[in-house]
């Protein structure tokens, strides 16, 4: 998929006005999920948007209790009902857990795509072996893989898989839950460029080939700042300094 460098992560957003503001600010990739319990919020914003539906990439995710073979289509239809859409642009398997079985789940997801309920199929939070197994059972190309990716948690093997197979890695939590705001290295790089630590962290994420990101924000100022951060050009020294940060932390372990 050809996704913009910065989209909107909506986990925790419960006001459609926030999503409407994001669309007005220029966001064109909106990411939600069944487990966020806000698909209706995103759908309300899409319905009231001043841009054409075709201009927006709407993504959602099937939760682990909707991954049994007979639950995939009803689960997808439930999401579409909440979103008020006939189809989504991107449908993810949220995690390879619960009722997930690659041999039965993924053909059912293929069938959903063939029925026109989604244009693209994505995976989320898979490890390299699970990605290989998924490709053995999925007829649809993997259009995107969404994972946690930020300066404190760099999933190099997953990045290599995305680059080798030609799909975007969609990075969630690019600000490490706000921890980058106080990181001395990232603050120093931000001071060098007269910008914010948030902008530096987003720019670092999107500096990787085939990586896009979906930070969450609520205020228009932060929405616009995150969108603009992809235009920040870090030099090799900046990237090397951030790469050398020793702190490692996964915010959303399995």
Q: Is 36 a catalytic residue?
A: yes
What percent of the chain has a predicted confidence (pLDDT) above 90?
A: 99
The active-site residue, picked from 36, 100, 152, 167, is 36
**Is residue 39 within a helix (H) or strand (E), and if so which, with residue range?**
helix 39-48
Give per-residue pLDDT as tens, 122-154.
999 999 999 999 999 999 999 999 999 999 999
Q: What is the mean pLDDT of residues 82-100?
A: 98
Q: Is 2:29 a contact under the CB 8 Å cutoff?
A: no
Break the chain into its structural domains and give their ranges: 8-175+208-218
For residue 8, what pLDDT is reported? 98
Structure confidence at residue 209 as a pLDDT band (50, 70, 90): very high
H-only helix segments in 173-213: 184-192, 197-206
Helix (H, G, I), strand (E, B) or coil at 156: helix
For residue 7, what pLDDT is reported? 98
What percent of the chain has a predicted confidence (pLDDT) above 70?
A: 100
Assess whether pLDDT exceeds 90 at residue 228. Answer: yes
For residue 254, what pLDDT is reported? 77
Q: What is the mean pLDDT of residues 213-241?
A: 97
- Give the other-Cβ count within 10 Å of 25's Cβ: 17
Residues 6 or more apart whose CB falls under 8 angstroms from that of 189 comprise 200, 234, 238, 241, 242
Report CA Rg, the chain: 18
Query: Which DSSP symbol is given to 194?
Result: T
Q: Tokens 């009722």 correspond to what residue? A: 99
Phi-psi region of 160 (alpha: psi -120 to 50; beta: other; left: phi over 0): alpha
Query: 8-175+208-218: what CATH class?
Result: alpha beta
Give per-residue pLDDT as tens, 9-23.
999 999 999 999 999
Q: What is the mean pLDDT of residues 64-79?
A: 98
Query: Which DSSP symbol is given to 115?
Result: T
Q: What is the mean pLDDT of residues 223-237?
A: 97
Residues 6 or more apart whose CB falls under 8 angstroms from that of 30 comprise 7, 8, 10, 19, 22, 23, 42, 45, 46, 56, 57, 58, 59
Measured CA to CA, the distance from residue 70 to residue 67 in angstroms comes to 8
Q: What is the mean pLDDT of residues 216-240?
A: 97
Q: What is the mean pLDDT of residues 29-34?
A: 98
């Amino acid at each position: 998929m050809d996704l913009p460098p910065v989209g909107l992560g909506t986990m925790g957003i419960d006001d459609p006005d926030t999503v409407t503001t994001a669309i007005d600010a220029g966001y064109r990739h909106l990411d939600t999920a069944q487990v966020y319990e806000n698909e209706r919020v995103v759908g309300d914003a899409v319905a009231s948007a001043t841009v054409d539906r075709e201009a927006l990439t709407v993504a959602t995710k099937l939760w682990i209790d909707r991954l049994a073979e007979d639950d995939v289509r009803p689960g997808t239809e439930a999401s579409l009902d909440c979103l008020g859409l006939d189809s989504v642009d991107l449908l993810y398997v949220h995690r390879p857990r619960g009722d997930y079985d690659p041999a039965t789940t993924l053909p059912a997801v293929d069938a959903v795509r063939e029925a026109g309920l989604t244009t693209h199929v994505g995976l989320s939070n898979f490890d390299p072996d699970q990605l290989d197994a998924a490709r053995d059972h999925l007829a649809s190309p993997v259009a995107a893989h969404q994972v946690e990716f930020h300066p404190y948690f760099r999933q190099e093997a997953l990045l290599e898989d995305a680059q080798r197979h030609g799909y975007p890695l969609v990075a969630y939590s690019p600000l490490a839950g706000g921890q980058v705001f106080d990181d001395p290295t990232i603050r120093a790089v931000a001071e060098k460029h007269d910008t914010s630590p948030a902008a530096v962290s987003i720019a670092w994420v999107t500096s990787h080939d085939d990586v896009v990101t979906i930070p969450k924000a609520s205020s228009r100022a932060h929405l616009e700042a995150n969108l603009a951060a992809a235009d920040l050009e870090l030099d090799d020294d900046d990237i090397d300094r951030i790469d050398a940060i020793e702190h490692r932390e996964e915010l959303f372990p399995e």
